[in-house]
Each structure stands twice: as C-alpha cells, then as structure tokens.
Amino acid sequence: MSATAVDRLQEIRDRIRTATSEAGRPAGSVELVAVSKTFDADAIRPVLEAGQRIFGENRVQEATGKWPALREAFDGVELHLIGPLQSNKTAEAVALFDVIETVDREKIAEAIAREMARQGRTPRLYVQVDIGEEAQKAGVPPREAAAFVRRCREEHGLAIEGLMCIPPVAEHPGPYFALLQKIAAEAGVERLSMGMSGDFERAIPFGATSVRVGSAIFGARG
C-alpha cells in the first residue's frame, strides 16, 4: 500500500480506469464512491483536496456529525448512504444524503416518500439486494427485487435508479455481480453499485456503474 490516502486514491482511480477500458466500457462510466465511514474529518479532507467528491457513509448519525462542515468547505460533495436505514432516521437521511443506496423494505420506501414530499428534497434511490440470500445481510431477496422496485415506483412514486449489493465474503463474487446485472435488466434499472476494496475490478466487467471503496483508500478501519 502507498503511504498516504491521496496516493492510494490515485492508484484506485488508475485501476478503475484500466478495468473499465479492459472491459470495453467507455472511459468515465464507473464512478468511485470513497467510503469514509469511521474516518474523521481530518482524514477525509486531503481526499477532498485531491478532488474526490463522491463519498459513502454507513451511519446517518456519524455522517450528520462530520459532513455538514466538510460541505461548507468543499463544493460539489455527493454523499451516499450505504448502510441500513432505520425508519426513525429517515428524515435526517433525506435531509443529508444525495443518494440512498439501501432502500430494502416497504416501510422504508414509504417513510422516504413521505419525507421527500415534506422536505421537498429528492435524493436518488437504489434498492439493496441481498444477493447471496444471507440471513444477516440487509436487502430484498433476489427473487423479489424486480417486484419491489415496481412497487416502489407505482405505490410510493419513487424513481429507483439503481441496485446495490454486497456479495458473500470469501466466495467468488462474479456470479453475484452477474445476478445483480440480470435483475437490473429485469427491473428496468440503469445503475449498479457493486464492488468494494477487494473486488471492485471484478464488478466492472459485469456493469458496475459505481464501486464503493473504503479501506483501500483510507486504510484499515480500527
């Protein structure tokens, strides 16, 4: 690993560029979401100074503590919620995040729709799919995902633009990435958030439009 987060950021950008080109996809078609969870503002600032603008956080409360001040200091920040959303945190999440990647049940879809109307804000939305059907993981089961996207659109008026998944650890992720790509086609969804520090290059040939990379940029989480 390179010495600083900024060096590592540059390496990750280069690797994304190479993987995108090797997959025969247009340059710039894969966005980097830098996952800054557990890292404080001092650790994040150099990465902002290096030009990174899209960040992922997995806790509403933690993000609310550090991002408003960083946003004052840097223009054009785009914040993604990538962790589970509790319904009592929906108002805060709708107020803070530009993208909520973890819509995973009816009750949350309904609460988000209500808050969007109340606040007049329209965060972009992804449905999280429990791609490996793991009991401990959040997300809609693969078989129900397309129908859930349809209900979000038709019953709650939510414009779902993408799907997100976290494949089971210690398994080859390729088949899971392929399955998410297939579900997206079935559901009529354009964007795919898949691939993390250990496997983002594998997600790109399967159509990832964004990869969520944390430890390979910021270092190991304590």
Ligand X SMILES: *Cc1c(COP(=O)(O)O)cnc(C)c1O
- Is there binding between residue 138 and ligand X (CB under 6 A)? no
Q: Given the complex with ligand X, which of 203 and 216 has the nearer CB atom? A: 216
Q: Can you give the C-alpha Rg of the chain in angstroms?
A: 17
Cβ proximity to ligand X, 147 vs 213, nearer residue: 213
- Please report whether residue 215 would count as binding ligand X according to CB under 6 A: yes
| Spacing of C-alpha 20 from chain mean position | 18
With binding defined as CB under 6 A, does residue 37 bind ligand X? Answer: yes
Range in contact with ligand X (rule: CB under 6 A) among 88-96, 130-138, 181-189, 211-219: 211-219
Cβ-contact 117, 162 below 8 angstroms: no
| Residue 84 vs 174, nearer CB to ligand X | 84
Contact status: 197 vs ligand X (CB under 6 A):
yes
Residues 71-130 that bind ligand X (CB under 6 A): 82-83
What b/e sequence results for 107-145 when a residue is b if at least 16 CB atoms lie within 10 Å of its CB, and e otherwise?
A: ebbbbbbebbeeeeeebbbbbbbbbbeeeebbbbebeeb
Structure-token match 């959303």, residue found: 85
Place of tokens 């709708």: 94
Contact footprint for ligand X (CB under 6 A):
35, 37, 58, 82-83, 166, 196-198, 212-216
